[in-house]
Amino acid sequence: MLTNRTFFIYVALMTSVVVASNFLVQYPLPGSVAGMNLGDLWTWGAFSYPFAFLVTDLTNRHFGPRIARRVVVAGFVVGVTFSIYLATPRIAIASGSAFLFGQLLDISVFNRLRRQTWWHAPLAGSLIGSALDTAMFFSFAFAPFFVFFGPNDSFALETAPLLGALAAEAPRWISWALGDLLVKILCGIVLLLPYGALMSVIKPMPAASATA
């Protein structure tokens, strides 16, 4: 009973992160720094989404990769459902695909490193998973090559100063991707703090070690 209850807590946390991120992605950051308009690079959703990697890593630590994958699938279903109602089919495909493969890669990397120093597995898993997530989402959503997923976004394809401030120019979606990845890297490092704090509370079950 306790195991089932804990599992559903992880599912609830994951779906909450996905729902919150789908909502907050509609709201750009206000203000500017050094002439760079923050709203051109980030939404509040960029800061909530990395918590999905924390939930995945805690689930993996506690239950092992098999249960962690179930939690990810639950988040995937919720994410795709909300994306269908909140965005275009192309964004829904990009969001769902990036989430699923990014989280599954995180699980795989975490599992390979789980017996090393405590921070290696969650940091490497979240960073590598975030890199794949970002590359898949922004490519599927905006790169001209993936037009078969849906119409191209002309605004995203227009050239503009890289990261909104540099002399070099690139399509806007490239700056959005780089800005998103930067946030995920910073959040991945910061979220080591709650992961480390919870290690004494959330300990691996025997099944987790057996499947590692």
pLDDT at 208: 67
Residue 211 has pLDDT above 60, yes or no: no
The H-or-E segment that residue 98 falls in is: helix 89-113
- Mean pLDDT (whole number) for 74-96: 88
Per DSSP, the three-state class of 160 is strand
Nearest to 46, CA basis, from 22, 81, 10: 22
Q: How confident is the model at residue 1 (pLDDT cuts 50, 70, 90)?
A: very low
pLDDT at 209: 57
Res. 2: pLDDT tops 60? no
User: pTM of the prediction?
Assistant: 0.91
Alpha carbon distance 104, 4 (integer Å): 22
- Amino acid identity of 177? A
Q: Which residues pair with 170 in a beta bridge?
A: 160
Give every CB contact of residue 3 below 8 A, 6+ residues apart in sequence: 205
